[in-house]
Amino acid sequence: MSSTLERHAVAVGGLLVGAGPAVVISDRVSLRTGPRAALRAGVTLAEPATAADLPEIAEHAAAVVVGASWTRDIPLVRAAAGLGLPVVVERRAAASMEEWLQLAAYCAGEGDGRVILCEGGRRPDLALVRAARAASGRPVLVDVSADLGLSAAAVAAGADGLIIGTDAEGTEADETDAADPGAAGVNGAATAAGRAAASAARRRVAEEAVTVVGALLRDERPGTLAECRQAIDRVDAALATLLERRAELAGMVQRLKPVGGFAGRDLGRERDVVARMAVRAPALGESRLSAIMNAVIEAGLHLAEERSDR
Ligand SMILES: O=C(O)C(=O)C[C@]1(C(=O)O)C=C[C@@H](O)C=C1
């Protein structure tokens, strides 16, 4: 396992997977379980049911999925890998990392080398994600459809992207409609709107993880002005989240202190805060941090005083 291993980023449609920020993919279609119409509308990832599906997948999808449930169907794996699209290789539930990486290498050899690993299922193994990414140099996606709450942990584990899935929602909604055919008219529209809102909410959770956790933990090397600015935007999003949280905490301190607000300012404590931060931010150093933290602390005190006036 080498930390200097060359990383192989893979372009999937308009997304670059494996370099830059982690991506969020919400349109993974399975022709085994989902409607074929969804594929024809154009999707990022598509899983075939049989080899007969592959021409249509080549036409409408940006990448083909070798699904966890059929990784041992070698003729289908070979046909999918040779399709000419990037190949997303899911890990069979019981497969070891070695088996998973062997399958990925096989797909790379049968195709043009553009292979992405994907871990998923009910309990994605994030330790394996980390290890597989380091050992192979290939990008790794994590399918968090079964538990969106794992999004932040997956990004922290190094995932190059999250699959948030829509198939399960589609199935649930379709079942609801089928169970209550009388409600199909008006409620059908409400269900469609509800599904759109739910899927937008799912995307927000995943994007929040990609932005905030990615800003803190993901090693990025932006190469262009636009990429640098996008990376700065992610860091600023994380900073804003932390600044808001800090202001709330500082407000609580004002209520707990015998004398709060500007009147109870404690410059010794402020110097300690800055000195501790300078250990983490040595390039900025104490004098620059001191100016920054003075502004931050004063903003918190102003907010606390405004609130206590109400
Ligand atoms: O620790 C305190 O006593 C606070 O009031 C909080 C806080 C801060 O925002 O960190 C604010 C004002 C003080 O001068 C020192 C620190």
Q: Mean pLDDT for each consecutive 10-residue tract of the chain (310 residues)?
A: 69 96 96 92 97 98 98 98 98 97 98 97 96 97 96 98 71 40 55 89 96 93 95 96 98 97 97 98 98 98 94
Q: Whose CA is nearest to atom 12 of ligand 1?
A: 265
Q: CB of 141 within 8 A of CB of 159?
A: yes
Please report how many Cα atoms fall inside a 13 Å half-sphere around the Cα of residue 297, on the Cβ side. 20
pLDDT at 125: 98
Query: Beta 61-66 vs 161-163: how paired, if at all?
Result: unpaired
Report domain 10-221's class.
alpha beta
Instruction: From 245, 256, 262, 266, give the residue whose CB has the most ligand 1 atoms within 8 Å, as the site to mutate.
Output: 266
pLDDT of residue 171: 39
Q: What pLDDT was estimated at residue 173?
A: 37
pLDDT, residue 186, reads: 58
Residue 4: per-residue pLDDT: 56
Note the pLDDT of residue 188.
Answer: 63
As to burial, measured by CB atoms within 10 angstroms (0-12 exposed, 13-18 middle, 19+ buried), residue 196 is exposed
User: Where are the domains positioned within the chain?
Assistant: 10-221, 226-309
Please choose from 259, 269, 276 the residue to mutate so as to test ligand 1's pocket, defined by most ligand atoms within 8 A of CB. Answer: 269
Q: Which residues of 240-277 are buried (b: 16+ CB within 10 A; e: fewer)?
A: eeeeeebbeebbeebeeeeebeeeeeeeeeeeebbeeb
Distance (Å) from CA 60 to ligand 1 centroid: 57
Residue 219: predicted pLDDT:
84
Task: Give residue ranges with CB within 6 A of ligand 1.
Answer: 250, 253-254, 257, 265-266, 269-270, 273, 297, 300-301
The two most distant CA atoms of the chain are separated, in Å, by: 76
Q: Predicted ipTM? A: 0.99
Q: Determine the atom of ligand 1 nearest the C-alpha atom of 296.
A: 9
Query: Which phi and psi (to 5°) does residue 87 adopt?
Result: -115, 130
Per-residue model confidence (pLDDT) at position 65: 98
Q: From 167, 166, 152, select the one nearest 199 (Cα to Cα).
A: 166
Nearest residue (CA) to ligand 1, atom 11: 297
Please name the residues in contact with 205: beta carbons below 8 A apart, sequence gap of 6 or more.
148, 151, 164
Q: What's the CA-to-centroid distance between 285 and ligand 1, angstroms? A: 20
- Write down the pLDDT at residue 7: 79
**Distance separating alpha carbons of residues 31 and 130, to the nearest angstrom:** 29
